[in-house]
Amino acid sequence: MRMASNCYPCILDRAKFECDLVFSREEEKKAAVEELLDYMACHKGGVPALVGTEREVIIKRRSGSMDPYQHLKEESNSVARDLLPMASEFYEKADDKIEALIRIAAAANSMEFGVKGHDFDNSTFGSVFADTLRERLEADMVELKKRLQVFCNIFYLTDNCGEVVFDLFVIGKLRAMGKRVVIGSKSEPVLNDVTVSELKGMTDVEVIPTGSVVGTAIDHLSPEASTLLFDPDWLVLSKGMGNFETMSEFDEKLIGRLIYILRAKCEPVATQMNVPKGTLVAKSI
C-alpha cells in the first residue's frame, strides 16, 4: 500500500502526539517535526508504515527515549488483562467459536494511539469493548475456517501492546485445537507494538523477531521470520494496519495462506480493503 493524500497529515499528527510524550520544550517538538517534514518531502509515495518508521527513528534519536510509548504500553496491558474475562465469556457463550476468536482478535486491534480520526483511550475502552466484540465483521468465514482446518502451523504476527493480551488468548485456543503456533513480534520498541522481549515474559509460546520497523517489510525481516513467512506449510495471521500497509506490497507471494485481521481505523486502509472506515476485518488473501 502506498501513501494516500490523507496519510501525510496522519503521520504528522502522530509525530505531534509522540513529541508531546517525550519533549517538554516547543523548540524540540518543532525541530523533530521539521526533520520529519524534510524526510517526507524526499520520500513521496512510499509505504505509509515505512515513512512512519522514520518518524520513530527521528523522535527516538532526538529525545533519547528508546521506548516513547512505554507507559502507555504498560497501561494498555493492564486494561486488557482486566477485560480478558469479558472476552473469555464472549467466547464461551458463542455458538461459532472460530468467529468469536476472530472477533476478539479484530476488536483488540482497536487499542491504538495517535491515529488521526480514530478515537481510543485506555481509560474508556472497557466501556465499549463488549459492543466492539459484536460489531459488524467483514470476513469470509467459510474460507477462513477452511484454512484453519487445513493448516497445522500458524505464524501469528502481532501488533500492539494491550491487544496482544487478547492475541495470547486466541493463540491458546488455537493451540488447544492442535495447532503449532509461532509468534512474530518486533525486535525492539517501535510505536506501541509489543516486542519479543516483552512477550517472552507473557507466554511460553515460541516468539521470534520480525524486525524493527512499523509492519512487516521484506527488506527488514529477520532470517527466522522470513523462513516461516515464505514456508508454504505455514498459515500467516497478520494483525494490524502496519502489517497490512507493508505486506500488501508482497502478499501475492502468500496467496492462499494469509489472513489480515484488524480494525480499518483510517480511510486509506479502509479504501484498500473495500470496507467502511472503522470496520472489523478478517481478509483472506
Give the model confidence (pLDDT) of 26-52 as tens digits.
Answer: 999 999 999 999 999 999 999 999 999
- Identity of the amino acid at 137: L
pLDDT of residue 117: 52
Residue 256 grid coordinates: 492462499
User: Residue holding cell 484498500?
Assistant: 272
Name the least confident of 48-57, 70-79, 110-119, 131-140. Answer: 110-119
CATH node for 70-284: 3.40.50.10880
Instruction: State how far the Cα of 32 lies from the Cα of 60, in Å rounded to an integer.
Output: 10
257 and 235 in contact (C-beta within 8 Å)?
yes
Chain Cα centroid distance, residue 93: 27
pTM, two decimals, is 0.95
What is the average pLDDT across 52-76? 96
Q: Domain residues of the chain, as ranges?
A: 7-63, 70-284
CATH architecture of the domain with range 7-63: Orthogonal Bundle (1.10)
